[in-house]
Chain A
Amino acid sequence: MLRELAFFIPAADEVARLQRADDLEGKLFRKVAEKGHYAGRVQPTNTRQGTYALTPSGEFLGSLNHNDPKRVADMLRKAKAAWDQMDPALRRLPESQLRPENAPQRFERFYPADGLVLRMTTRDLPRTKTSSDWRGQAFNIDFCWFRRAEMLSMVPEPQAGATAYVSDEVARRWVRLHIIDIVRGQSPVWEPNQVERALFEFKTEDVRGDLQTIRVTGSIRAGDQGQWSIDGFRDMNRPTPQSRGLRLQVMGRAVWSRSKQVFQSFELVLAGERWGATQYNGRSDDPGPAPIGFVFEKARPQERVAPANWWGYGWR
């Protein structure tokens, strides 16, 4: 870890929401960002992504959009000097602005503490020809949330061979919002009619005392055809006929504590093939078909990052 970082409270966040939100958090971010490295920029996009140093009151201390540790450390040293020279009164917000009613109404407030949170990792599987640069090793992460009732629907009766299925709505949400080729970058969710198959079967394998072992199997198919861009900004105004899809098998195992009514462990592996490209998923030169893998595991309690496509949950 950078030594210079120790003086700062580190935060990571999604920039698009901060650029749009009409709450105090968004307003403070925009105040800072419009003094930073992308201030006023509208082309090729209006993104303000990057690394910022700021005071709790929203005063700008420094920024850059680079991952070179030396440059980040240099920015932090300068930001610390600016903080030290600043009138202490300017560093702070009026306490009244930190009242709970000013807290942003983010999707994180729906974090299902009594449900199930899975961390999803996806990566290309080995093949004969692989990119020698970062794309050959790329992976991505997302978080998948289930409310308590949805989690309970995954637990069959505690007799070997008993089966359970999540509702069609939950199974489709799982596929639509989370099982997408995002290995190299973001990609649109599947529309409901593009999910051809979303089968997750939970079968009791064994019951020993308090612990019920559940075997998970299934299969997934989703596909889309139409006209869209596939090469970032380069062809953004020249959509061409495209198709994309996934065809995957599902295997996994979970252990359910009958007394605590929680999953002690939960693990799913999905593997199969993907094809096609979308505007920002970095597949224009690698449309496949090619093998892809996904792993879903129970997230740690401190992992409270909202699902990337949280808006698709429709939770109120």
Chain B
Amino acid sequence: MMMWLATWVLGSQTLTQSSTPSAPAEILTSTTYSQIKSHVLPKPQEIQFQEVPWRATLWEAIVEGQRQNRPILLWAMNGHPLGCT
């Protein structure tokens, strides 16, 4: 982890804050690939909400609630809560 972090930091030293970078740092290599992947992917505790069997649309829940005579809990956000919020 530290090696590729160091690569990034060294690569960033010539960059000016808020300016368009002129030379990208090569941070993705066969060595750093797995580390970057594992850093980006969510940890289990970060996606505990996915344990709830959410229906992906309100309509699905309306149809199912009608069939099963059950109320609906709707989580509605700007951006789909199970996708990009």
Contact = CB atoms under 8 A, between A and B. Distances in A.
Interface residues of B, number: 60
Contacts of A92: 66, 69
A93 B62 contact: yes
Chain A interface secondary structure, helix, strand, loop or mixed? mixed
Contacts of B24: 247, 249, 272-273
Nearest to A80: B71
A142 B42 contact: no
Interface stretch (A161-169, A201-209, A231-239, A301-309): A301-309
A203 to B, nearest CB: 15
Contacts, number: 243
Contact of B65 (A56, A127, A243, A251): A56
A25 B60 CA distance: 10
Contacts of A48: 76
Contacts of B62: 25, 28, 56, 93, 98
A103 interface: yes
A126 B40 CA distance: 10
Interface of A: 1, 5, 7-16, 18, 25, 28-29, 32, 47-56, 61, 76, 79-80, 83, 88, 91-93, 98, 103-104, 106, 108, 121-123, 125-128, 137, 139-143, 182, 185-186, 223, 243, 245, 247-251, 267, 269-273, 275-276, 287-291, 293-295, 303-308
Interface of B: 1, 5, 8-9, 12, 15, 17-21, 24-28, 30, 32-33, 36-37, 39-42, 46, 51-66, 68-85
6 contacts: A28-B62, A29-B58, A53-B73, A247-B21, A269-B36, A308-B80
